Amino acid sequence: MATPVSLWPLIGVAVIIVGFVLRFNPMLIVAAAAIITGFAAHFPPERILSAIGTGFLKTRNIPLIILLPLAVIGLLERHGLRERAQIWISGIRAATAGRLLIVYLLVRELTAAVGLTGLGGHPQMVRPLLAPMAEGATEARYGKLSDAVRYKLRAYSAATDNVGLFFGEDIFVAFGAIVLMVTFLKEAGIIVEPMHVAVWGIPTAICAFLIHGFRLWLLDRQLTRELDALTRNVAGEKA
């Protein structure tokens, strides 16, 4: 007879969702979710602290890896990387912010699925290239943009990178989260192969692409509706 699996540890997922909806500090949210999940799994306090400390020691070099490319990216931006990206994308007539981001979402998911997670990211791709290109494509169609529209395009650019990375890397069999899930299930008496977990990440990645791609399609329609109306109003006032 199979041993029943407790679902109470999943309460940590609810804590993360509620925390981000209420816009609490991300570090506090993750720490609280880890502690609550540990208690829900009936872990003693010392085991919870040990797991958190072990995770910190394993990832303490990550900030250094992230900071090293910033000097190069800053130098490129100083010499006009953002401006050149905007000029290049504005020369493509069929380019829109939504279409550009859909293409990037597909590329981001595919590269993350084969383990190339470092090809994108906020500091090295979104800020210096993707967001300026989305702004340039929109500005080429509708003229000068307001700050509100620019911030919206930047937010969608960052969200696209997040979605592509998060759901794409779940397909990569050597991804740390897959190893963690396999280990956790093994401790609970459920034996699964890492390849099986990765394969079942494919339908989720496809759904994520379709859902976020639809949101990006709606973004184009929304920008067309809002900015076309604004352009007509400005033209009417001048007339």
* Long-range contacts of the stretch 129-132 (C-beta < 8 A, 24+): 129/81, 129/82, 129/85, 130/100, 130/101, 130/104, 130/157, 130/160, 130/161, 131/157, 131/158, 132/82, 132/83, 132/85, 132/86
Please choose, from the candidates 149, 130, 129, 123, the residue with its C-alpha nearest in 3D space to the C-alpha of residue 138.
149
Please give the pLDDT value at position 179.
78
Please give the pLDDT value at position 192.
82
Please give the pLDDT value at position 152.
94
Please give the pLDDT value at position 1.
45
Q: Radius of gyration over alpha carbons of the chain, in Å?
A: 22
Please give the pLDDT value at position 149.
92
Q: How many CB atoms lie within 10 A of CB 40?
A: 16
Q: What is the pLDDT of residues 123-153, one digit of tens each?
A: 788 888 899 889 988 888 888 888 999 999 9
Quick one: DSSP state of residue 115? T
Q: Domain residues of the chain, as ranges?
A: 7-60, 67-233
Q: Give the residue ranges of the chain where pLDDT is below 50.
A: 1
Q: How far apart are CA 30 and CA 25, in angstroms?
A: 9
Please give the pLDDT value at position 65.
58
Q: How far apart are CA 12 and CA 80, in angstroms?
A: 44
* Long-range contacts of the stretch 4-8 (C-beta < 8 A, 24+): 5/188, 5/190, 6/40, 6/41, 8/40, 8/41
